[in-house]
Amino acid sequence: MSKLDFQEASSRFKRFIETEKARSSGHIRAYMSDIGDFRIFLEKTGNSDLLRDLTQIGPLHIRGFVASRFSKIKKSSISRKLAALRTFFRFLVRDGFLLSNPAVSLRSPKLEKPLPRALSVDDMDRFFSRNDQASKRDLAIFELMYSAGLRVSELTSLQIDDVDIHNGWVRVIGKGSKERYCPVGEKAINAILFYLPERLTILNAHPNIRGMKALFLNNRGGPLSSRHIRRIMKSFLDGANLGRDASPHALRHSFATHLLQGGADLRSIQEMLGHSSLSTTQRYTKVDLGRLMEVYDKAHPRSGFRDSKA
């Protein structure tokens, strides 16, 4: 096995990601900066000898590097540095300079998920009222997404037979092909009823696709794409003068947040959203923590609320 010092290894790795991996210039700069930080760490901790013999670098050296940065940078930056080192050492193993990858067993820190962005109840009123002249299809799309908390992918895969107009529910195939049934409100049901004649007109104009089962169709009679729905969402936001860059997923977040504000329990919200884990649904408690504290103060016998009001 050939020996390679750190500087030559870095140069070879840079050529590798420039040519074989064809990474962007920004990506390359970030990776090389991360690898350079590791080299500086080894020098500062009295391990310069490892820079001349990379075979002696082990998981403990990389763990020490991560620990030295943990309180100084974001977890996402630490994850990127670990990814850079994993890729660097994997390249050296591939080319025969190392027998094993010392970074492969180190786990990246668990990243904190950003809080869901939701439109307020007033925002939702403006969203619909100021777009009431939009097409019947577009109004039905967003009424249904907000009413049932659907993902965009779930909406685009809905078929005409998945909606029970009379009983007010919709059959949804979610992540992992899991089936669930979601209640649908009166406004969404009415919006769908207004849209159905328009859907039939589209089908009649394209005899070759009269058997199309998709609920929401484009003007050519095909199913709508997620990209198309995002464009419509941008138009609705502009029409309501909300001035924010919200995705269609914001309607799902708004659905969950407003149910929580209205007193729905987390288990029910979990079922309606199709979350496999309650911990995923519990993110919404962080969004409305102030209200939960108010509910707690009013409801818990030892919260001190009653004493303060006595």
CA dist., res. 219 & res. 232, Å (int): 14
- Region label for 128, one of left (φ > 0), alpha (ψ between -120 and 50) or beta (otherwise): alpha
Catalytic residue among 80, 81, 86, 151: 151
Catalytic residue among 31, 146, 195, 284: 284
Query: Which tokens belong to 6?
Result: 């750190």
CA dist., res. 283 & res. 19, Å (int): 42
Amino acid at 151: R
Place of tokens 């199709």: 274
Instruction: Report the sign of the C-alpha dihedral through residues 241, 246, 248, 254, in that order.
Output: negative
- Is residue 86 a contact partner of residue 104, using CB atoms and an 8 Å limit? yes
Question: Catalytic: 23?
Answer: no
Catalytic residue among 39, 199, 252, 253: 252
Question: Catalytic: 300?
Answer: no
Query: Which tokens belong to 195?
Result: 């849209």
Largest CA distance in the chain: 81
CA dist., res. 126 & res. 140, Å (int): 16
Q: Which residues of 249-267 are buried (b: 16+ CB within 10 A; e: fewer)?
A: bbbbbbbbbbbbbeeeebe
CA dist., res. 92 & res. 98, Å (int): 6
Amino acid at 46: G
Catalytic residue among 86, 199, 258, 275: 275
- Region label for 243, one of left (φ > 0), alpha (ψ between -120 and 50) or beta (otherwise): left
Catalytic residue among 130, 249, 283, 291: 249
Question: Catalytic: 284?
Answer: yes
Question: Catalytic: 283?
Answer: no
Cα 170 to the center of its chain, rounded Å: 24
Catalytic residue among 94, 175, 178, 306: 175
Active site residues: 151, 175, 249, 252, 275, 284
